[in-house]
Amino acid sequence: MTDTTRKQAAPCGTWTSPITAAVVAAGATPLSQVLLDGGDVFWLAGRASEGGRNTLLRNRGGQVDELTPAPFNARTRVHEYGGGATLVADSHIWFSNFADNRVYRLDRAGSGEPVPVSAGGDERWADFVLDRAHRRLIGVREDHSAGGTYPDNTLSALGADGTVTVLVDGNDFYSSPRISPDGTHLAWLSWDHPRMPWQGTELWLAEIGEDGTLLDGRLIAGGADEAIVQPEWSPDGTLYFVSDRSGWWNLYRYEHGVVHPVCPRAAEFGGPHWVFGNSMYGFRSAQEIVCTYIEDGVSQLARLDVRNGHLTPIATPYEQISELRVEGDTVALLGGAPTLAAEIACIDLATGQRNVLARSIEQLPDVSYLSVPQSIRYPSKGEKTADRTAYAFYYPPTNRDFAPQPGELPPLMVIGHGGPTSMAASTLKLATQFWTSRGIAVLDVNYGGSTGFGRAYRDLLKGQWGVVDVEDCVAGAQYLVDNDLVDRERLVIRGGSAGGLTTLCALAFHDVFKAGASYYGVSDLKGLDADSHKFESHYNEYLIAPKESADRVYAERSPINHTDKLHRPMIFFQGLDDKVVPPPQSEVMVSALRARGVPVAYITLAGEGHGFRKADSIVRTLEAELYFYLRVFGIPVPESLPPIDIENLAA
């Protein structure tokens, strides 16, 4: 136990911490798309020092090798958010390269240079499977060559010679093509505007003819109000999938034309399809599934007997699990916990042994500098919305060397996650510990609309974006104030993308927060519709209002129309290459605040899109945000912190 009597009393926000912005930028390696094949484990690792390049790594017998040399970047922009950029099967690896949109083939042994297979250019690919019988890949193809408002999405085949064959078209979106073990059937998901895939998708099944065409395609599950994710074939050729038809994303199987529930439970065995390739279950055998599921925002790992629906827990140290792959007795996953940053691990089900193959942070700070979050639930409501319970993770300030001055309560940073159909998790994030180790408390909010709490909770945001999410953030801050945990005069709110709208609405329509930070945030809902890419081009019809009434609601809810209500200091961060929330969304807001004399700072980053990947960008934004808060709250600024220009601050 730390001896608090030896701690130095200092103003919150000024505590010296080993978790610097440079440590945050250099220490976190994004890990994604875990694959397991033939005993080898593969994954993508982001290289912030190389401009955010994704490279494919392989662990074979404890030795890790890099398979995609620089400058290859295993990343795709299908649906703009990408995912599903790599496939490992038999003796080859295929990956989509970000720079030229071409699909490349690589010898699995890692020898030789990658060989281009597709034309690239205006043609993007994701979510591949290997059709061995016809010596081709089947995947999601997004064609931007027509020059229309939006690209054309199809389910297509890519031959070894680069020949493209469209297999299914006519829907706005496709995902998850999966070939049966005997190679005779193909299952896939599709959906159409205005739905997003977590609102409603359709599961289709077709035979694969001898010539490779699809025959007798038929809808077997799903619809406008049923969201299906992750169809998979069991070893015995039974089709499984995850559906939220019960109100929770649960497992089902399709047999002899009938859909059967596998394990009814008030838990989430699936998640929203923001990116391709997500996996939350896999088959140990035809009778046993290894799965991860979420209860009250925390992941569990278990074996599931498909004959009786019985779950047997598998002990792990993780509270967040994703990217789950299963091969025999081997389970590979991406896991994290409050004192464990995201890591790739293998579990041997026969022995229970767990081996960590890769860590997103190789050198963790001493645990005495880490804040362990408390999972809290609290009452929330609004003038026009019903009483409800909201959820969040509360991180108290923690630093073994410092304590608040006598009588001082810490400032609070409230974080509204992006998405907004996403989820705040408790996995160790140095970006959060950057603040808590300096004496600033953090509340990471799972507001109404968040994943992990069932469909009814997710649908709380229907027509209420900018309302329910804001109310839950405001209520969370007030809950901590009422419990004498934080200083009511030093409450700040920050968020990125959709969380940026939450931030701006909280400052415009409520008088609780004293400052805010918007990372590529939405300020003009109508402008977002005009600028948005295909995947999200109708999302606001669900989040805000149908088109016939949208203009009125947009005007009421867009912060850009209510700058007269903004009088709290704000800082904006914007990637100049952002195609999801383009720079004008920030620029119009900054100009309005500047003209009104409200303290404002604007930081732009060349070469960055929706989310910052470069190490120097991460350092610059964190240090600028800290400097901004210290200045506006009159807290002494360390000489080592680079200054930024804050307009109107004297006023």
pLDDT grade for 581, boundaries at 50, 70 and 90: confident
Is the predicted pLDDT of residue 5 greater than 70, yes or no? no
pLDDT above 70 covers a percentage of the chain that reads 98
Q: Which contiguous run of DSSP H or E holds residue 501?
A: helix 498-509
Three-state DSSP class for 408? Answer: coil
pLDDT grade for 2, boundaries at 50, 70 and 90: very low
Residue ranges covered by each domain of the chain: 15-20+366-632, 30-283, 284-359
Is the predicted pLDDT of residue 236 greater than 50, yes or no? yes
Q: Does the 15-20+366-632 domain belong in CATH 3.40.309.10?
A: no
pLDDT tens for 182-193 read 999 999 999 999
The pLDDT assigned to 4 comes to 53
pLDDT tens for 88-133 read 999 899 999 999 999 999 998 767 899 999 999 999 999 999 999 9
Per-residue pLDDT, averaged over 513-538, amounts to 87
- 125, 235, 310, 404 from 328: Cα distances, Å: 30, 11, 19, 53
The pLDDT assigned to 405 comes to 96
Q: What is the pTM for the complete model shown?
A: 0.90
Query: Cα–Cα distance between 227 and 154 in angstroms, integer?
Result: 20
pLDDT grade for 252, boundaries at 50, 70 and 90: very high
pLDDT grade for 3, boundaries at 50, 70 and 90: low
Domains 15-20+366-632 and 30-283 share a fold: no
Per-residue pLDDT, averaged over 397-422, amounts to 94
Per-residue pLDDT, averaged over 387-406, amounts to 97
- State residue 325 phi and psi, 5-degree precision: -130, 145
Query: How many CB atoms neighbour CB 149 within 10 A?
Result: 7
Q: Cβ contacts of residue 340 below 8 Å, gap of 6+?
A: 317, 318, 427, 428
Tokens of residue 52, six digits: 């955010």
- State residue 451 phi and psi, 5-degree precision: -75, 155
pLDDT tens for 22-40 read 998 876 688 999 999 999 9
Listed residue (126, 381, 133, 159) closest to 277, CA to CA: 126
Is the predicted pLDDT of residue 327 greater than 80, yes or no? yes
Taken in order 242, 243, 244, 250, the sign of the CA dihedral is: negative
pLDDT above 90 covers a percentage of the chain that reads 83
The pLDDT assigned to 547 comes to 84
Under CATH, to which class is 30-283 assigned? mainly beta
pLDDT grade for 650, boundaries at 50, 70 and 90: confident
Is the predicted pLDDT of residue 523 greater than 60, yes or no? yes
Per-residue pLDDT, averaged over 356-385, amounts to 92
- 27, 344, 356, 426 from 365: Cα distances, Å: 10, 19, 18, 17
pLDDT tens for 595-630 read 999 999 999 999 998 888 788 999 999 999 999 999
pLDDT grade for 296, boundaries at 50, 70 and 90: confident
Average pLDDT in the chain:
94
